[in-house]
């Protein structure tokens, strides 16, 4: 009877999810529910392909973005269980060159737990890896060298194990550790052989070639201001040669992720019972997962602030909460209602018994994902979405399904919160990019020190500007067709982006409007200061370099003009 009532409530939730799909500008949403170890509900709404008018279903493949981190942690757990890795041995034992120069403790003590729990304190540096149009601009073979040069502290001192700093590229270093201890086996092959095949997850892919050849794929879209859908390029990090593949690049479907969630919950339950009761009963042979209790244990040393009082922890590729919790959605792309504080009026289950949920969210241009698991009832909620623009429909849908599955009280109108997020999201670009850019310009109006002497000859700015420590070169050239300067990063001239004059010797590669920001896959540019290049001159007036603030939280770095011989 209870199960029938839960299914009836889930049926009623579909209308809410349809509204979320429209509110957020999603092209499609596919979702499924596992309860007491069995799949009880799957459904989809919308189109996976707008041009051909093809509907999505439970086998439609979507890129998972950061939900991929759970697979990375699972691969590490398997090799730890086999004795090839140790959770607590320093990374430098496996990667001899890992030795960040700004904090010797990282080289001496940082381990794979620190990588996967985002506790290294190494600076967020997405713009050194991801350029315009979602292009990959870094050399994955030199990732260790780049990490060694990054800032590791702030005004409070060292961030190592003291400051949670989410970082896709640091966690991805774990895949290089895996390949090192696996005698060079490539990460995609390791994942396929150790996890995907044993679990019979045949529609979960870690390869651009396989992804492109499938006929049931959700295409990436952005809904523009006129209501139309613009098709986006597929994320370049799906290519097997990129390090970010490990932390971002798994693609899957609802059907397979329900298998994944069930296997995770089963192994976790078995490990906990085995440890507590000291049982010797064998584990089901078709489940390859190991060390799941370690992976889904709260490792980050400081719990996150949480209004209702229950502790929240980041694990290894998972976030652990106990409902009611104001941190539900913390790592989703529903950022604006959190910034405004509106989310505090929509906390699930305030009058219901505590409910533990271990989850993760993912976001990429054109895609959102959410995987919620509930250990006490062997339950899981999987939501995959394409085309989202005005908020994160995957997380809104997961919250709606959570409320209905467990009949949480009092009832919370998540659709109403989604509307508020959509309104704030549509204003975000003007509020946080255009307005501060304009205010920055107004501050300097009438400044006699502003130097615009080079504007009459933009070719004087042409050249290659390099920072040897950050392994990054900015290529500036005069674009004949537009009569403006253009920038490309690390010789990705196929992904060149126009520069616009800002003031003095400052030029901006900020998108001119929100539609461009979405269409050009510039989601990593969320602080106007990171899109400004400030050129420097010698005493003779010649351009000698430029300053670029590549991270919103770090000081700008100098890139020196390279001389030709």
**Measured distance CA(336)–CA(505) in Å, rounded:** 33
Q: What is the pLDDT of residue 453?
A: 54
pLDDT tens-place string over residues 326-352: 999 999 999 999 999 999 999 999 999
Instruction: Report the predicted TM-score, pTM, of the whole model to 2 decimal places.
Output: 0.96
SS (H, E, C) 430-484: HHHHHHHHHHHHHHCCCCCCCCCHHHHCHHHHCEEEEECCCCEEEEEEEECCCCE
Mean pLDDT to the nearest integer, 481-495? 94
pLDDT of 310 > 80? The answer is yes
Mean pLDDT to the nearest integer, 473-484? 93
Compute the residue count for the chain: 565
**Measured distance CA(458)–CA(333) in Å, rounded:** 39
Helices vs. strands in the chain: H and E counts, helices first = 17, 23
Q: What is the pLDDT of residue 450?
A: 45
**362 token code pair:** 């993912």
Q: How many other C-beta atoms lie within 10 A of the C-beta of residue 277?
A: 9
The two beta strands, 54-55 and 38-49, are: antiparallel
Q: What is the pLDDT of residue 455?
A: 64
Q: What is the pLDDT of residue 64?
A: 97
Portions of the chain given CATH number 2.40.128.50: 447-562
pLDDT tens-place string over residues 181-192: 998 899 999 999
- The band of 563, judged by pLDDT with boundaries at 50, 70 and 90, is confident
Asked, as a colleague might, if the bond just before 324 is cis with ω within 30 of 0, I would say yes
Any idea which fold 447-562 has?
Answer: Lipocalin (2.40.128)
Lowest mean pLDDT among 16-20, 87-91, 449-453: 449-453
Mean pLDDT to the nearest integer, 68-79? 98
Portions of the chain given CATH number 3.40.710.10: 1-122+159-424
Lowest mean pLDDT among 277-286, 438-447, 529-538, 556-565: 277-286
Right CATH for 1-122+159-424 from 1.10.10.60, 3.40.710.10, 3.30.470.10, 2.30.40.10: 3.40.710.10
Average pLDDT, the chain: 93
């Amino acid at each position: 009877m209870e199960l029938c009532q839960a299914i009836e409530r889930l049926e009623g939730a579909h209308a809410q999810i349809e509204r979320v799909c429209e509110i957020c500008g999603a092209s499609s949403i596919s979702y499924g529910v596992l309860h007491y170890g069995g799949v009880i509900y799957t459904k989809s709404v919308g189109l996976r392909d707008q041009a051909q008018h093809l509907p999505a279903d439970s086998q439609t493949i979507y890129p998972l973005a950061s939900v991929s981190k759970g697979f990375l942690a699972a691969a590490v757990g398997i090799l730890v269980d086999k004795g090839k890795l140790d959770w607590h041995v320093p990374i430098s034992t496996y990667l001899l060159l890992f030795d960040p120069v700004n904090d010797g403790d990282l080289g001496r003590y940082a381990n794979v737990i620190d990588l996967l729990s985002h506790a290294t304190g190494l600076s967020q540096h997405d713009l050194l890896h991801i350029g315009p149009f979602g292009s990959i601009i870094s050399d994955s073979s030199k990732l260790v060298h780049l990490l060694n040069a990054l800032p590791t502290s702030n005004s409070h001192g060292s961030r190592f194990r003291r400051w949670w700093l989410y970082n896709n590229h640091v966690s991805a270093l774990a895949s290089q550790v895996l390949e090192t201890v696996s005698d060079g086996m490539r990460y995609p092959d390791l994942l396929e052989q150790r996890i995907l095949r044993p679990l019979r997850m045949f529609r979960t892919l870690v390869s651009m070639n396989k992804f492109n050849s499938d006929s049931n794929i959700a295409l990436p879209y952005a809904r523009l201001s006129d209501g139309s859908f613009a098709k986006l390029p597929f994320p370049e990090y799906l290519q097997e040669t990129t390090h970010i593949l490990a932390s971002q690049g798994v693609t899957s479907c609802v059907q397979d992720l329900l298998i994944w969630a069930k296997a995770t919950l089963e192994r976790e339950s078995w490990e906990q019972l085995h440890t507590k009761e000291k049982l010797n009963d064998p584990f089901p042979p078709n489940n390859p997962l190991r060390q799941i209790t370690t992976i889904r244990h709260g490792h980050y040393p400081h719990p996150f602030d949480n209004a209702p009082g229950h502790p929240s922890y980041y694990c290894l590729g998972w976030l652990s909460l106990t409902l009611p919790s104001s941190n539900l959605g913390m790592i989703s792309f529903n950022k604006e209602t959190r910034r405004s504080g509106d989310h505090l009026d929509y906390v699930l289950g305030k009058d219901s018994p505590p409910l533990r949920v271990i989850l993760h969210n993912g976001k990429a241009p054109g895609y959102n994902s959410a995987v919620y698991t509930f250990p006490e009832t062997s339950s899981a909620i999987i939501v995959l979405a394409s085309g989202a623009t005005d908020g994160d429909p995957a997380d809104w849908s997961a919250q709606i399904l959570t409320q209905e599955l467990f009949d949480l009280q009092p009832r919370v109108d998540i659709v109403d919160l989604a509307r508020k997020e959509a309104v704030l999201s549509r204003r975000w670009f003007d509020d946080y990019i255009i307005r501060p850019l304009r205010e920055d310009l107004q501050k300097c109006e009438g400044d006699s020190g502003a130097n615009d002497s080079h504007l009459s000859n933009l070719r004087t700015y042409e050249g290659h500007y390099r920072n040897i420590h950050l392994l990054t070169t900015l290529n500036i050239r005069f674009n004949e067709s537009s009569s403006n300067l253009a920038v490309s990063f690390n010789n990705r001239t196929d992904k060149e982006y126009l520069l616009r004059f800002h003031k003095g010797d400052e030029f901006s590669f900020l998108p001119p409007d929100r539609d461009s920001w979405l269409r050009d896959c510039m989601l990593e540019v969320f602080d106007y200061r990171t899109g400004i290049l400030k050129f420097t001159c010698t005493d003779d007036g010649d351009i000698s370099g430029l300053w670029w603030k590549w991270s919103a939280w770090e000081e700008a770095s100098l890139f020196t003009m390279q001389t030709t011989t």
